[in-house]
Homo-oligomer: A and B are copies of this chain.
Amino acid sequence: MSNQRTINCLKALRDLRYQLELKDSKLPTLSKWKLHIVSENNFPTAAGLASSAAGFAAFVVAIAKLYQLPQSMSELSKIARQGSGSACRSLFGGFVAWEMGQLEDGSDSMAVPVNELNDWSSMKAIILVVSDSKKDTSSTMGMQLTVKTSDLFQERVKTVVPKRFVQMKEAIINKDFATFAELTMKDSNSFHATCLDSFPPIFYMNDTSRKIIKLCHKINEYYGESVVAYTFDAGPNAVLYYLEENENKLLPFIYKSFNQVPGWDSKYTSNDLQDFLKNFQESILPKFAEHNELDEEVHKGVSRVILSRVGAGPQSTDKCLIDSSTGLPK
């Protein structure tokens, strides 16, 4: 195992197991055993789609289960965080808060759930995969450069984020989509602003990302209310949030713009999709002022649509990637 962050996570998990074995000598000394770990990933990696967050969360929870560790998910999130910062959030389902903690070295920074899973189950997401090529700048290296060189970053950390963090938790608890949407979009913009303020500047978003942002603002403006919120992580891909009850407002616009992109038939029938187009043509287009026309090219920068919703955390599975007779990958 050559990845230092993986080694650090594994060491922390082994230490916890070793504490258990010290207290109970009947336990097998798993902490001394070698591990053969085989993993599989069906998501684009290093593309700003949180693949490493998902991977490290799965890894930490799987080993913790093997070692029968009694620690809570929040305690385990401190370990996952050493693999990939945002992995700490991925140990839970639903909406999760990544608390900064008090200690200078960040060792008490961990994730706690904001709401119970499915408490706001009508929240859905559309991921527009803008590019699944690898990024110029990795999230971790980018963040380090921003902390070191951006003059505006300190203001974001000390003033902007703490205030938004409290407002965001409240919005989620109150299921207040308008506030959730505004905070989500503003915080995405603020994060990318501090990336741009780094030196040399870091650009995760591209012209397609920008067109998607404009489209979302046009849609909300058209309805005079927030039916969609965009957010961009450390990459050009857009995550759009919306409520199931607004699907018939949002999807005509989105499907009209991205119907040439694969992924729609994973969740919608061809009848549903036809209805979206029909709604756009018949209800929206006539009321859509000419100067506000949609960009007919935006789909060209998008390679895939992933339809999703707020989901569960790591799940146990019976599927095994190791051939139990040889101990080698299948």
CB distance from A227 to the nearest CB of B (A): 15
Hey, which chain B residues are within 8 Å of A200, CB to CB? 213-214, 217
Asked whether, in the complex, the Cβ of A196 is within 8 Å of the Cβ of B199, the reply is no
Interface centre among A150, A152, A154, A203 (most CB of B within 10 A): A152
CB of A194 within 8 A of chain B? yes
Question: Could you tell me the distance between the alpha carbons of A189 and B155 in the complex, rounded to whole angstroms?
Answer: 16
Interface of A is mostly: helix
CB of A300 within 8 A of chain B? no
The residues in A between 176 and 234 inclusive whose CB is less than 8 angstroms from any CB of B are 182, 185-186, 189-190, 192-194, 196-201, 203, 206-207, 210, 213-214, 217
Instruction: Please tell me which one of the listed residues B150, B160, B182, B213 contacts residue A201 in the complex, with CB atoms under 8 A apart.
Output: B213
Considering only CB atoms and an 8 Å cut-off, how many residues of chain A contact the other chain?
29
Hey, which chain B residues are within 8 Å of A182, CB to CB? 199
**A189-B201 in contact given A151-B159, A155-B152, A160-B152 (Cβ < 8 Å):** yes
The residues in A between 121 and 151 inclusive whose CB is less than 8 angstroms from any CB of B are 150-151
CB of A156 within 8 A of chain B? yes
Chain B, Cβ-Cβ closest to A190: B197
**A152-B210 in contact given A185-B199, A186-B199, A200-B217 (Cβ < 8 Å):** no
CB distance from A83 to the nearest CB of B (A): 27
Asked whether, in the complex, the Cβ of A152 is within 8 Å of the Cβ of B207, the reply is no
Instruction: Please tell me which one of the listed residues B151, B194, B210, B217 contacts residue A160 in the complex, with CB atoms under 8 A apart.
Output: B151
Question: Could you tell me the distance between the alpha carbons of A150 and B200 in the complex, rounded to whole angstroms?
Answer: 22
Asked whether, in the complex, the Cβ of B193 is within 8 Å of the Cβ of A152, the reply is yes
Instruction: Please tell me which one of the listed residues B152, B160, B190, B198 contacts residue A156 in the complex, with CB atoms under 8 A apart.
Output: B152
User: 1/0 per residue A303-322: CB within 8 Å of B?
Assistant: 00000000000000000000
Chain B, Cβ-Cβ closest to A199: B186
